[in-house]
Amino acid sequence: MLQVGLWRHTGAWRGPEGAPYSTLVPSDEVTINYRHGLPVITLTLPTRSERCQFTVKPVVTTVGAFLQDVQREDKGIERAEVFATDGSKVSDATLMEVLLMNDFKLVINNIAYSVSPPVKDKLSSEHATEMEDIKSLVHRLFVALHLEDHQIRKERELLQKLDHLKGELLPLEQMKARIVDSADAKTSRLLWVGLALMSTQGGALAWLTWWVYSWDIMEPVTYFITYGSAMAFYAYFVLTKQDYIYPHAKDRQFLHYFYRKSKKQHFNVERYNKLKDDLAEAEESLRRLRQPLHLRLPIQEISDKD
C-alpha cells in the first residue's frame, strides 16, 4: 500500500497563482492501493475529519470527475486541483489512467499532497487466461439463461412480420396471376400465328413452284426469302443484343406483354419484388431461428452447408 506524504510549504513550490500552501509534516493522510484491479484513493476529508475511499475506473474516470466526487463528499472543500511535479496544472479532462502513471500533487484548499502512485502489477499469462475463461463461462451462462426468451420473442416478431407481408402480397399475387395468364395466352397465340404463317408460306411456295411457275422462276424468290429471314434475325440481334433462340425469344415476348399489361392495370412491379424479398428474408431468419445449430452462422455459410 502506498503512503503519500503531506508537506509544509517552505517557499520552494507555489500554486498557479503564486500563493504558498500551508505545510504539515509527512503523515499517512492519503493512501492509494489496488482492489480487484481498480485503484482506491483514501484520504481524510478536511471539514468532517473522516476517512473516505474513492474507487476510480482509470479508463473511464477523468481527473475532473474525481475532484468533483471529493468536493461532493465534503462541502467545505472550496478548491481541489491536481498539478504535475513541475507545477503545471493537470487538465480536468485527463483520464485517471494517465494521471496514475506519474507522480503528481493533489491540492485540497491550501494543502498540497505529494503523491507517488504505486506500480500496478501486470497480470501473468496464466491469470489472464483464467480471466478470459471466466468471461467466456459467464457469457455462455448468460446465453443459456436468456437465449430461449429471446428466441421466443424474436420468433413472435417474425411471425407477425410474415403475416403482415403475406396480407400485403395477397392482392398483388391475385393481380399478378391474372396478368401472367393474359401475357402467357398472348405469347402462345403469337407462337401459333408464327407457325401458321410459316406453314402458309411453305404451301404458297410449293403451289407456285409446281402449279403456277417452275423451279427456275421460284428459286431466286426462295433465295431472297431466305436472305430476308437472315436479315431479320440479325436485326433482332442488333436490337436485343441476344441470339434469336426460341425459348429466349418467347420469354422476351412474354415479359413485353406482362409489363404492358401491368402498366395498364397499375400493378407496381417494384413494390411486389420488394415485398417478395422481405418475405424471403423473414422466412430465412425464422428458419435460422428454429435451428439452434445455425444461430451463429451467417446466411452464406448456412446456404453452403444446405
Q: Which tens digits make up the pLDDT trace of 78-108?
A: 888 888 888 888 888 888 888 888 888 888 8
Closest CA to 199 of 209, 207, 188: 207
Higher-confidence residue of 267 and 136: namely 267
At residue 126, the pLDDT reads 58
Look at residue 146 in the predicted model and tell me its pLDDT.
60
Q: Give the pLDDT score at 260.
A: 86
In the chain, % of residues over pLDDT 90: 0
Average pLDDT score over residue span 217-228: 87
Find residue 265's DSSP bridge partners.
Answer: none
State yes or no: pLDDT of 302 exceeds 80: no
| 8 A C-beta contact, residue 237 and residue 243 | yes
Q: What percent of the chain has pLDDT over 70?
A: 78
Q: Which residue has the higher pLDDT, 21 or 189?
A: 189
Ranked by mean pLDDT, which of 107-116, 181-190, 245-254 comes out on top?
181-190
